[in-house]
């Protein structure tokens, strides 16, 4: 052993065994999950079509397409380039000087975003729905959970302001889109004309949500796959999902926020979201839904959902009510 002490040799052999027989197999699992859930190397993945065949989701998607068809006369296909990526969306111009930007969740595109557009149209807002990087028609390979996408959001906001004369913008995020909206609105470079945000199903940290998803799939162990998955996210997506996220960023929020959440949400745990809201010192409103799946609340009670947004826009955000 070349003079190596026996105890050191034994320690190294044990460590090697741990890596080969325990950490390496779980790293393969974590890598597989990462590839399936957060990467796209073909535009055949995460297209503009439905991302799942679950009945409630499909009804939401269908209603979104009905809304889209009803307002085709207001639709403009839009395109920007940000950080070398071609990004695409649909802009519904109803002739107003303010607009809502719908931030979709993972696997979703501008077409699904149409489902959430009506409360803003009714309140006197134009609506922009778009394809995140690595989704729909947009370029990109990695879903970075908002850590990079928020810069695309700010680019879309600049387009609305510079090209269409929009003077006020509200960000509406769904699940991961909520986190992305928070990253955007708290960024030092966020312009003043981004006035407020709505968070549908916001979580505290993606790391916590990942563990919850794993448990729902029957994987009870919290080590080492979540840690390895977080490591891959940090390496390839630049996302620090362990020590960074909404719970940290919300301390920097100064502009009004509306939390929309279900007491039955099993992924963005209600108790943790309450703590998130308590940490927030910005003007805020919290609307509870007694029933409803994660990020599938408007379908449960459209009247409550839409009226909550309207009240928030006119009262909390201090915006002039549209007659």
Measured distance CA(176)–CA(274) in Å, rounded: 17
- 281 domain-assigned: yes
- The structural domain count of the chain equals 1
* Cis, bond preceding 224 (omega within 30 deg of 0): yes
Structural tokens at position 96? 């107003």
Backbone phi, psi, residue 82, to 5°: -140, 130
The confidence score (pLDDT) of residue 323 equals 32
Q: Is residue 292 part of a domain?
A: yes
The answer to whether residue 151 sits within a structural domain is: yes
The β-bridge partners of 289 are: 262
pLDDT at 1: 52
User: Looking at the domain assignment, is residue 277 inside a domain?
Assistant: yes
Q: Specify if 147 maps to a domain.
A: yes
Q: DSSP letters along 271-320, please?
A: HHHHHHHHH--SSEEEEEESS-BTTB-TTT-HHHHHHHHHHIIIIIS-PP
User: How far apart are the C-alpha atoms of 247 and 271, rounded to whole Å?
Assistant: 13
Q: Is residue 263 part of a domain?
A: yes
Buried b (16+ CB within 10 A) or exposed e, 127-150: bbbbbbbbbbbbbbebbbbbbbbb
- Tell me the pLDDT tens digit for each residue of 37-90: 999 999 999 999 999 999 999 999 999 999 999 999 999 999 999 999 999 999
In a domain, 321, yes or no: no
Cα(176)–Cα(141) distance, integer angstroms = 17
CATH code for position 297 = 3.40.50.1820
Return the bridge partners of 88, or none.
79
How far apart, in whole angstroms, are the C-alpha atoms of residue 82 and residue 95?
A: 26
Flag whether 4 is in a domain.
Answer: no
CB 80 within 8 A of CB 163: no
Q: What range does the domain containing 59 cover?
A: 39-204+245-316
Rounded to whole angstroms, how far apart are CA atoms 53 and 107? 13
* The token pair that represents 49 in the structure block: 């079509």
- pLDDT tens-digit profile, the chain (323 residues): 556 776 665 566 666 656 555 677 887 888 899 999 999 999 999 999 999 999 999 999 999 999 999 999 999 999 999 999 999 999 999 999 999 999 999 999 999 999 999 999 999 999 999 999 999 999 999 999 999 999 999 999 999 999 999 999 999 999 999 999 999 999 999 999 999 999 999 999 999 999 998 888 777 778 889 998 999 899 988 999 999 999 999 999 999 999 999 999 999 999 999 999 999 999 999 999 999 999 999 999 999 999 999 999 998 655 443 33
Output the pLDDT for position 155.
98
């Amino acid at each position: 052993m070349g003079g190596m002490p026996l105890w050191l040799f034994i320690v190294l052999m044990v460590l090697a065994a741990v890596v080969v027989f325990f950490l390496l197999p779980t790293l393969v699992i974590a890598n597989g999950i990462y590839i399936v859930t957060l990467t796209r190397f073909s535009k055949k993945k995460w297209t503009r079509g439905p991302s799942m065949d679950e009945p409630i989701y499909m009804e939401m998607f269908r209603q979104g397409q009905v809304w889209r068809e009803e307002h085709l006369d207001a639709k403009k296909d839009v395109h920007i380039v940000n950080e070398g990526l071609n990004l695409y969306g649909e802009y519904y111009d109803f002739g107003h000087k303010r607009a809502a930007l719908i931030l979709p969740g993972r696997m979703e595109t501008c077409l699904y975003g149409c489902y959430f557009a009506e409360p803003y149209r009714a309140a006197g807002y134009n609506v922009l729905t778009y394809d995140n990087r690595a989704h729909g028609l947009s370029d990109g390979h990695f879903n970075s959970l908002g850590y990079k996408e928020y810069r695309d959001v700010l680019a879309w906001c600049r387009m609305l302001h510079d090209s269409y004369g929009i003077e006020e913008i509200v960000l509406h995020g769904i699940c991961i889109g909520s986190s992305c909206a928070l990253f955007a609105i708290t960024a030092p470079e966020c312009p003043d004309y981004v006035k407020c945000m709505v968070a549908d199903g916001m979580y505290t940290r993606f790391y916590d949500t990942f563990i919850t998803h794993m448990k729902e799939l029957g994987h009870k162990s919290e080590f080492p796959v979540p840690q390895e998955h977080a490591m891959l996210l940090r390496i390839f997506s630049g996302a620090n999902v362990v020590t960074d996220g909404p719970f940290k960023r919300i301390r920097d929020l100064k502009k009004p926020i509306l939390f929309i959440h279900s007491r039955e949400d099993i992924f963005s745990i209600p108790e943790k979201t309450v703590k998130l809201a308590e940490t927030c010192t910005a003007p805020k409103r919290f609307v509870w839904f007694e029933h409803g799946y994660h990020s599938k609340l408007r379908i449960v009670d459209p009247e409550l959902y839409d009226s909550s947004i309207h009240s928030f826009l006119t009262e909390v955000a201090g915006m002039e009510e549209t007659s």
